[in-house]
Amino acid sequence: MEEFSVSTKSKYDMVDITTKIKKIVENSKIKEGICTVYVPHATCAVLINENYDPNVMDDVLESMGKLIPEGKWKHDNVDNNGAAHIKSAIIGPSETIPISKNQLLLGTWQDIMIADFDGPKQRKVIVTITGE
């Protein structure tokens, strides 16, 4: 298991962490197995999608904003981030990627990203690799 931190720069932000995850997998020497990427935060999520065109990340954030608008949730009375909790719950806090020949089996256009819906913040990423 390995941990690292990611700094987000705005309230809604997506950060590509693929290069860091690939390096962790390569250093693990695991030939065949799985890699789980997890964020221990209630307003942040992990997703796999295209990052070749950065508009995809913008589209994801914009669509989540349209689906789950700000300022109308009961939790907003506590700390005004009810929408962030709902958005991160929909996407989820983790992704699992197969490993083969010491490489992540990501598709041609797939990258691993964290989505922060309550930034800017320092976010912890936990990577667990199992296999042989």
Query: 80-94: per-residue pLDDT in tens?
Result: 999 999 999 999 999
Rounded distance between C-alpha atoms, residue 120 and residue 112, angstroms = 19
Summarize pLDDT for 36-71 with one digit per residue, the tens. Answer: 999 999 999 999 999 889 899 999 999 999 999 999
Q: 10 Å Cβ neighbour count for 9?
A: 10
Q: Is the pTM of this model over 0.75?
A: yes
Task: Write the CA distances from 23 to 44, 63, 104, 118, integer angstroms.
Answer: 22, 31, 10, 28
Superfamily (CATH) of domain 2-131:
YjbQ-like (2.60.120.460)
The residues spanned by each domain of the chain are: 2-131
